[in-house]
Amino acid sequence: MKRVVALAAAVLVLAGCGSTEGAAPAAQPPAASALGSPPPISPSGAFNDTDVMFLQMMVGQYGPAAELLDLARSRSTDQKVRELAAAIAVTQADEARTMRDWLATWKQAPSPAADPHLHEGHGGLPATGPKEIEALRGAAAADFDKTFLNLLIGHQHQAVEYARMELGGGIHSGALELATRVDQTRSSEIAMMLGMVA
C-alpha cells in the first residue's frame, strides 16, 4: 500500500515538476525507458520531462546549500572545512546559474511548482529547510562542524539521487553532462566530509 501511495505521489510530482507544454519534442517516446535502458541522447538540443525535473530539483537545492555553506565559511574553526565549503559554494553558484539559464531558455518554471507534501517520502524536495538552517545557526561552537557536515552530507546525497535520475532518463546532452559532474563531485565531497566528521 505504501508503495502504491508513493507511486501515486510520484506520478503527481512528475506531473507537477515537468510540463511538456511548449517544450521541444522528446526524441524518444517514454516507452523506451520501460525497457530498462536510458533513452538516447538528443542530438538536437531537445529535452524531456526528466531533464526539466532534474534542473528544477537541483535549482531548489542550491538556496539552502548556499545558506549552510555561508555559515560554514564564517563559523567553522577547521580550515579544511572552511576551504571545502568555499569551493563548493562557488562551484555550485556557477551550476545554479547554468541551470536557471537553461530552464529560462526552455520556458520552464525555475522550481517544481507542486505541493511540497507530494514530495515527501521519496526524497523529492531538499532535506534541508529553514528548521535545519536555524539549527546550524544556533549550534554551539563545539558542535558546529559536526552539525554542518552531517547536514551537508545528507543534502549532497539528494543531489546524487537527482543526478542518477537524470542519467537514467534525461536526453539533453548538456543536462546529462552536468548530471555526471553533479554525481562525481557530490560523491567526492561526501567522501571528504565523512572523513572530516569522523
Partner 1 sequence: MRKRLAVPVLSILAVAASLLVGVPADAHGYISSPASRQANCAQHKTSFDCGDIVWEPQSVEAPKGSMQCNGGGSRFAILNDNSRPWPTTSVGNNVTFNWVLTARHRTSTWEYFVGSTRIGVVNDNGATPGATVSHNISLGGRTGRITVLARWNVYDTGNAFYSCVDLQVGGGGGGNPTPSPTPPTNPTPSPQPTSSPNPPSGTTWTAGTAYAVGATVTYAGLSYRCLQAHTALAGWEPPNTPALWQRV
Binding mask 15-44 for partner 1 (x = CB under 8 A): --xx-----------xx-xxxx-x------
Instruction: Considering the complex, state which of residue 107 and residue 181 has its C-beta at the smaller distance from partner 1.
Output: 181
Least distance (Å) between residue 166 CB and partner 1 = 9
* Residues 64-103 close enough to bind partner 1 by CB under 8 A: 80, 83-84, 86-87, 90-91, 93-94
In sequence order, the 6+-apart residues with CB closer than 8 A to the CB of 129 are: 64
Q: Where do runs of H (alpha helix) occur along the chain?
A: 2-17, 31-34, 49-75, 79-105, 130-137, 141-169, 173-197
Cα diameter, the chain:
54
Least distance (Å) between residue 108 CB and partner 1 = 15
Among residues 8, 33, 93, 23, the alpha carbon closest in space to that of 58 is found at: 93
Q: C-alpha cell of 143?
A: 558542535
Binding mask 148-177 for partner 1 (x = CB under 8 A): -xxx-xxx-xx-xxx-xx--xx--------
Query: Cα separation of 136 and 130, whole Å?
Result: 10
Query: Cα separation of 147 and 139, whole Å?
Result: 7
Instruction: Considering the complex, state which of residue 4 and residue 21 has its C-beta at the smaller distance from partner 1.
Output: 4
Least distance (Å) between residue 37 CB and partner 1 = 10
Least distance (Å) between residue 99 CB and partner 1 = 14
Distance of CA 53 to the CA centre of its chain: 10
Among 24, 66, 109, 127, binds partner 1 (CB under 8 A): 127
Query: Cα separation of 81 and 79, whole Å?
Result: 5
Report if residue 141 touches partner 1, rule: CB under 8 A.
no
Least distance (Å) between residue 36 CB and partner 1 = 6
Report if residue 53 touches partner 1, rule: CB under 8 A.
yes
